[in-house]
Structure 1
Amino acid sequence: MNIIIALLPAIGWGVMPWIVNKVPNSRPANQIFGVGMGATIVGIIVTLIQHPAMSLPVFFLSLFSGALWTIGQIGQFISFTRIGVSKTMPISTGLQLVGNTIIGALIFGEWKSSHDYLFGIIALVIIVIGVILTAYTEKDTDSGMKATGRDIVFLVLTTVGYLAYSTFPKMVSANAEAMFLPQTLGILLGSVLYLFFSGNKAAFKEKASYLDLFAGISFGIAAYAYIISAQVNGVTNAFIYGQLSVIISTVGGMTLLGERKQGKELLATLAGLCLIVVGAIL
């Protein structure tokens, strides 16, 4: 049963890109608003069932971290349209792994010994190599989904939102379930602000936004399952299993979403995925 719980985050996060890319006429604006609505629905249901104790400082800090998460997710959704899911997800996941590891080691002192630094640095190098391989595109490809330096820089900059989302909760001593609802409300708030300031207010009325709500429910279930998995399996095991989402989303992009890869490009992508997972385990 614990293994099933551990795999739920990977499944929920992994299928989210499939859902938003299968919704007709869905744009990044529709996608982020739909995810915000769906995640908030899950947050409300969980809070009504669990009744976690919540203080105002924790509420507002969690709300802010959820709003920052939308920066990273908007970056992903825009990148889906530029370079495809099968390139965006491994690159984005690799950047998050590297960023969170460096923050954990340098700011929170999670690397204690020379053993930690040795394997940590080796892991980071392996992940970076994996990211480079997944970004590889053959020159004669006709897919139109080549990852340029500009695309990589865009993902690096927007990934800062993900890093802030995962870092802020470490700064407070609070139950993860107490932070869950305000974080999902923050995601909804961030999505609304994005629609207003990006000139996409029409997305509030578009059907695609409400169909993308199911992607938000998938995200919300995965995020809550991760909290439970961390409790029953330990944070390390929950984290490693959660990284399997990159395999689900990338393989789905190459099959269900028609992002075909052949020859060296396919081999490079598969090899890169393997290295990212190995780096996550290390």
Structure 2
Amino acid sequence: MNVTDWLIAFIPALSFGLVPVVGTFIGGKPVQQTMGISIGAFVFALIVVLIRKPELNTHIFLISFISGILWAIGSIGQFKGITYLGVARATPIMNGGQIIGTSLVGIALGDWASSQAKIYGFLALILIIIGIIFTSYQEKSGEENIQWKKGILINLIGVLGFTFYVGIIKYFKIDGWSSILPQSIGQIVATFLFGWLIFKTKTLTKVSLKNGIVGIIWACGNLALLISQSKLGLATAYPIGQAAVIVSVFGGVYINKEQKTTKEWKYSLSGIIIICLGLFMIYQAGNN
């Protein structure tokens, strides 16, 4: 494992951290934001494929297409979960659930083979989840309409979608360069159908097209994630990407002009330090 592999693994943290910040800035309904990301991902993938000319066959197309559908389930579940529980409650459930899910899938597929790597890895997961909970802390302000049952259920569905969208690519050993175009087609088709059949919402609107820039940002991180999980393992690469919450904290304050109280800043900064400790443990797990 060289330095380049680790640098690539940190690209999703920056990219995925900017996605909710820029998406919130642009606005739109959950399905429209998801469609915008999907369109941007398709444009990015088309350019990459024309330049790189990766291998594409029926097997790669089908598995990657299914991966795109799973991602759409995860993305819509994430946005809907926030509407039921609020950001402070939904974020730890989604991020923590994804970390646990992808790590277990990665271990089942051979990551963290040694006992020492597993010890470092599980310590890292605990630290990162605790850090995410801290960074997501918000003081109560007035009455809150929390729908726990719906929120937890939709978040868990989202967690499964996000877990298996990368897990299926690793299981079938599909190259990241080859998967991104059919994956983006799966994202668009699934989002359109979900919007039409389930949410009864127009998915292709002006705000969807504006969110295309979010899709290009996401696609850069997605490609880096697919490449790094093949180099470092899914159990290592995916938790590193969850450091995105650090970018989201500062992006929310300085771009979206969100306000934080002194107490919230103390929790956020403590959480960032804990996440950094977790990332160090991830590094140790990857080198044992």
Judge conservation of contact 2:12–2:244 (CA < 8 Å) in 1: yes
Please tell me the residue identity of whatever aligns with 1:112. A
Q: Give the aligned partner of residue 65 of structure 1.
A: 67
Q: In terms of mean alpha carbon deviation, does 263-272 or 244-253 score higher?
A: 263-272
1:14 counterpart (9, 12, 17): 17
Aligned pairs for 1:232-251 within 5 A: 234-235=231-232, 242-251=241-250
Task: Write the distance in 1 (CA, Å) between the matches of 2:156 and 2:253.
Answer: 23
Equivalent residue pairs, number: 276
Residues 150-198 of structure 1 show CA distances to partners (whole Å, capped at 9, x for unaligned) of: 6455323311100010100122133221112111111111211111122
> In structure 1, the residue corresponding to 2:56 is in which secondary structure?
coil
Task: Write the distance in 2 (CA, Å) between the matches of 1:273 and 1:195.
Answer: 36
Task: Write the distance in 1 (CA, Å) between the matches of 2:48 and 2:139.
Answer: 46
Q: 1:191 to 1:5 in 2, by over 3 A?
A: same
Q: CA RMSD in A?
A: 3.1
Q: Percent identity?
A: 30
Q: 1:19 to 1:85 in 2, by over 3 A?
A: farther
Judge conservation of contact 1:40–1:185 (CA < 8 Å) in 2: yes
Task: Write the distance in 2 (CA, Å) between the matches of 1:121 and 1:225.
Answer: 23
Q: Give the aligned partner of residue 186 of structure 1.
A: 186
Task: Write the distance in 2 (CA, Å) between the matches of 1:151 and 1:257.
Answer: 24
Judge conservation of contact 1:84–1:253 (CA < 8 Å) in 2: no
Judge conservation of contact 2:13–2:243 (CA < 8 Å) in 1: yes
Judge conservation of contact 1:87–1:147 (CA < 8 Å) in 2: no
Q: 1:46 to 1:96 in 2, by over 3 A?
A: same
Please tell me the residue identity of whatever aligns with 1:75. G
Q: 1:54 to 1:248 in 2, by over 3 A?
A: same
Unaligned runs of 5+ in 1: none
TM-score (structure 1 length as normaliser): 0.82
Task: Write the distance in 1 (CA, Å) between the matches of 2:114 and 2:229.
Answer: 24
Judge conservation of contact 1:229–1:238 (CA < 8 Å) in 2: yes
TM-score (structure 2 length as normaliser): 0.81
Counterpart check, 1:34 vs 2:32? no
> In structure 2, the residue corresponding to 1:202 is in which secondary structure?
coil
Please tell me the residue identity of whatever aligns with 2:155. L
Counterpart check, 1:173 vs 2:164? no
Judge conservation of contact 2:175–2:226 (CA < 8 Å) in 1: no
Judge conservation of contact 2:88–2:137 (CA < 8 Å) in 1: no
Q: 1:87 to 1:147 in 2, by over 3 A?
A: farther
> In structure 1, the residue corresponding to 2:202 is in which secondary structure?
helix
Q: Give the aligned partner of residue 158 of structure 1.
A: 158
Please tell me the residue identity of whatever aligns with 1:117. K
Please tell me the residue identity of whatever aligns with 1:23. I
Q: In terms of mean alpha carbon deviation, does 149-158 or 216-225 score higher?
A: 149-158
Unaligned runs of 5+ in 2: 282-288
Q: 1:8 to 1:112 in 2, by over 3 A?
A: closer
- Shift in Å, 1:101: 1.1
